[in-house]
Amino acid sequence: MKSIVLSSVVTALLVFSGCSTKEPAVDNKTEQVASPVAQEVEAVTTETVASENSTISSSTDELSMNAIESKLPTIYFDFDKYNIKPEMQEKIDAAAELGKTKAKSFSIKLEGNCDEWGSDEYNFALGLKRANAVKKALVTDGIDASRISMVSYGESNPVCTEHTKECWAKNRRVNFKLLP
């Protein structure tokens, strides 16, 4: 009885695992472009030229956005803390001034980050608390809260991967990003 079941299973496996010997069909025909299609291509080309002109102005905005973003500071925190140190408050004040002048047409995204100590859940929560502390400081300095969004990367976005105190200190931070 066992040999019948075993031989049936082996036969079924051979039948179901067999390889096909057919080659895939390939269509080697070339088609001529019909005039309606040619007109559509011409319309798309005209739209592309118009789009490139608007892209030039948007790339100018993007350049200014990148230039402003490069002037925004990184806010650093102590181990397992989310309170803002006095020397970091000065940097937040400078960022708020940029936000009220040069970056007033952009939204601000605050990215909270942590070092590798602690669980993932804890670090995501701590990163969000750090971003929220910076948000409160920016709102106090006159930035509209509706322009600010926050995200926490926890320990998943390190700028330094060495296992030293100096490196870990670089990862405990909030970064500013501008959004159009």
- For residue 17, the surrounding DSSP H or E stretch is none
Given this model, what pLDDT does residue 177 score?
Answer: 93
- Residue 73: partners with Cβ closer than 8 Å, 6 or more residues away: 91, 92, 94, 95, 176
> Closest Cα to residue 178, out of 61, 81, 36, 77?
61
Given this model, what pLDDT does residue 68 score?
Answer: 86
Given this model, what pLDDT does residue 34 score?
Answer: 43
Given this model, what pLDDT does residue 122 score?
Answer: 94
- pLDDT per 10-residue tile (average), the chain, 180 residues: 70 57 45 45 45 45 76 93 92 91 90 92 95 95 93 92 92 93
3-state SS of 112-173 is EECCCCCCHHHHHHHHHHHHHHHHHHHHHCCCCHHHEEEEEEECCCCCCCCCCHHHHHHHCE
Given this model, what pLDDT does residue 14 score?
Answer: 56
Given this model, what pLDDT does residue 26 score?
Answer: 43
Given this model, what pLDDT does residue 17 score?
Answer: 57
Q: What angle do CA 147, 81, 159 make, to 5 degrees?
A: 70
- Residue 158: partners with Cβ closer than 8 Å, 6 or more residues away: 113, 115, 116, 171
Encoded amino acid at 56, one letter: I
- The reply to whether CATH 3.40.50.720 applies to domain 60-179 is no
Given this model, what pLDDT does residue 80 score?
Answer: 92
Given this model, what pLDDT does residue 60 score?
Answer: 47
Given this model, what pLDDT does residue 136 score?
Answer: 95
Domain ranges, ordered by start, for the chain:
60-179
Given this model, what pLDDT does residue 38 score?
Answer: 43
Partner residues linked to 109 by β-bridges: 149, 177
